[in-house]
Structure 1
Amino acid sequence: MTPEEWLANFESKIAEVQQKAAEFKQNLEASGATETSEDGALRVSVAPNGALTDLSIDDAALRGSGGELAAKIMKLARKAQRAAAGHVADAFAPLAGADSESLRMVTGYLPPEEDEEPEPGDDRNGQSYAFTNDPAETEPPTRSGEPPRRPGRPRSGPDDDDDFGNDQIFGRREEW
């Protein structure tokens, strides 16, 4: 292969990658999703990363309880997030290759369908997450009636570098 042929081949590959990158960017920007309830009273839109971008609640949706409304909104949001994640994966496939490890990695994090049962150990089950402040989980057990003990300060040893000691870092200070 001559240097000119090699250069032409290289420039062709660069042009192909630039074209794929431009298509990916365009497809990614359009990868958000919108889901609407069956009765049309609720509409949820999400960005390609799954962030909520729009929520529309018609007065008809307010006829039930607040808990029912929240559950319907969350169901639509999860459905829209799954659709957006699928769109992102579809946009990424031509860039990565249909059977690439990177595409399998991206699609491995798709949230499950509403009617799918999560696999054991799978925390991506579409349920809400809550942080608890259960003392049993955060503090070590104590003897009855005793308050929890604070951890002690580390002990200084003879080799410990103490910023407030009398030792000079460059040796002994000579008197003038």
Structure 2
Amino acid sequence: MTPEEWLAGFEAQIADVKQKAAEFKANLEASGATETSPDGTLTVTVAPNGALTGLTIDDSAWRGSGEQLAGKIMQLARKAQRTAAVHVAEAFAPLAGEDSESLRMVTGYLPPEEDEPEPDDGSRGYAFTNNEPDAETRPRSGEPPARPRRPVSSPDDDEDFGNDQIFGRRDDW
């Protein structure tokens, strides 16, 4: 092989890698995912890294408890995160090669598919509680909420801190 042939082959490899890198970048940027609940009341969107970027909750989704709603949102988020991870792996495959160790490493971390919702044993996820004030402390309509009362101070409050100035006496200046 002549030096010119070797250089032409090398330049062709560089052009191929550049083209694959540009395709990877474009595919990676489009690798986010959006999942919608079967009834259409919830939509979750995640970025290629799995970060939550959008959440739409239809008014009719508020039926049931907050805990149920949170569970549905988390289930959709996990499904969207898995879909995004699959998209990222698909974008990476042409760059790495279909049977490469690096692709196997990336696909080895894909979250498992969720066929059925996990049983709620309270060990993960979010929990919502009713933090509504009771009727006795809730302000009546039209009334501003009551100001919290300031604690009453006593002369003994300052006994731990003498009356000394931290920079000495004022007449020393």
Report the TM-score when normalising by structure 2: 0.67
CA distance in 1, matches of 2:55, 2:111: 20
Q: Which residue of 1 aligns with 2:95?
A: 95
Q: Which residue of 2 aligns with 1:60?
A: 60
Report the TM-score when normalising by structure 1: 0.66
**Percent sequence identity over aligned pairs:** 78
CA distance in 2, matches of 1:129, 1:3: 62
1:80-159 correspondence to structure 2 within 5 Å = 80-115=80-115, 128=124
Provide closer, same or farther for how the CA distance between residues 42 and 129 of structure 1 changes in structure 2, counting only shifts above 3 A.
closer
**Is the contact made by 2:74 and 2:125 (CA closer than 8 Å) also made in structure 1?**
no
CA distance in 2, matches of 1:104, 1:128: 29
Matched length: 121
CA distance in 1, matches of 2:83, 2:124: 19
Structure 1 residue 115: Cα displacement: 2.6
Q: Do residues 7 (structure 1) and 3 (structure 2) align?
A: no
| Root-mean-square deviation over aligned CA pairs | 1.8
Q: Which residue of 2 aligns with 1:17?
A: 17
Q: Which residue of 1 aligns with 2:162?
A: none
Counterpart code for 1:53: T
CA distance in 2, matches of 1:33, 1:5: 45
Gaps spanning 5+ residues in structure 1: where? 117-126, 131-176
